[in-house]
Amino acid sequence: MRVDVIANVDDIRSEDFVQKSAVVIDVLRATSTMITALAKGARGLLPVETVPEAQNKRSEHTFVGGERYYKKIPGFQAGNSPHDYMSGDIVGKLVVLTTSNGTRGLLKSQRASRLLAASFMNGTACASALASFESDVILLCAGCKNEFSLEDGLCAGMIIDAMETQFNQSLRLNDLGLAMKLAYRQCRHSLYETVMEGSSAKQLVKLGFAHDVEYCTGTDTVPLVPIAKNDLILTPLY
C-alpha cells in the first residue's frame, strides 16, 4: 500500500485523489472539532467553503459554526473550538462548519473513493480503517495559510506508525511520510509539549485557547472515524 503525506492543501490537485483513500488532518482544530461533535451526538457534519453558504444552511435542524483567523464568525452559533460542540444543543443536529483550512481540505479531497477526518483523538482508529480499505492513501495535512503545520504532520506520522506497527501494513511512503514517521516517533511521549512549540498552538494560546491545544493533543481519546458520504456529509464509520 502506498501512503503519501501532503504538506498543505495547495500542494495537491483534486484529481490526485481519484481511487485513493484520503484523510484530512487539521488537528488545531477543525478535525478535532468534527470528531468531538459526532461523539457528542451530532447527526452529521457538512463542511462548506464560505460564510454565506454556512449562513444559508441555518435552520432548526442545523448547528452552524466556524472561524476565520482563529475567531468565531459573527452571528454563528459556535466557533471552531471543540469545547463549543460539547453541549446538548448539537444532539441530532447537522453541524455546518466553515474553517480556514480544514474544511477546504475536505472539499479539495471530494474525489477520493473514501474520505476521512483525523486528528490525534482518533489516530489509531483511522489507521485501522485505512488498513481495512486496502487502497492507496493520501494523508492531507491542512496546514495554515499554505504552510505546513507541525501538529498535522505529527498526526500523519502517528497514523503511519499505527498502520505499520499495530496493523502490520507494509507501506511505501513518500519522503514527507518517512520524515513525519521519524518525527512522530521522536516525540510521541511528549506530544503536547512538542505541539506547543508550533505556530498554530502559540497563536491559539495567545488568543486564550490553551485548553483546546491540551484537548486536541490527547491521543486515541475518541475511537470514532468521520467518513464522508456522497453529499459530503460526514458521519461515524463505526
Q: How far apart are CA 137 and CA 153, in angstroms?
A: 15
Query: Contact between 44 and its own copies (CB under 8 A)?
Result: no
Q: Name the residue among 6, 10, 27, 35 with its Cα closest to residue 198.
A: 27
Stretch that binds its own copies, among 22-30, 120-128, 194-202, 212-220 (CB under 8 A): 194-202
Residues in the chain: 238
Judged by CB under 8 A, the residue of 124, 194, 217, 221 near its own copies is 194
Judged by CB under 8 A, the residue of 174, 203, 219, 235 near its own copies is 174
> Residue 180 CB, nearest distance to its own copies (Å)?
7
DSSP 31-86: HHHHHHHHHTT-SEEEE-SSHHHHHHT-STTEEEEEEETTEEPTT-SB-S-GGGG-
Q: Which is nearer to its own copies, 78 or 150 (CB)?
A: 150
Cell of 98: 466553515
Phi, psi angles (nearest 5°) of residue 89? -60, -25
Stretch that binds its own copies, among 57-65, 104-112, 148-156, 228-236 (CB under 8 A): 148-156
Query: Contact between 198 and its own copies (CB under 8 A)?
Result: yes
Q: Which is nearer to its own copies, 2 or 229 (CB)?
A: 2
Q: Which is nearer to its own copies, 183 or 237 (CB)?
A: 183
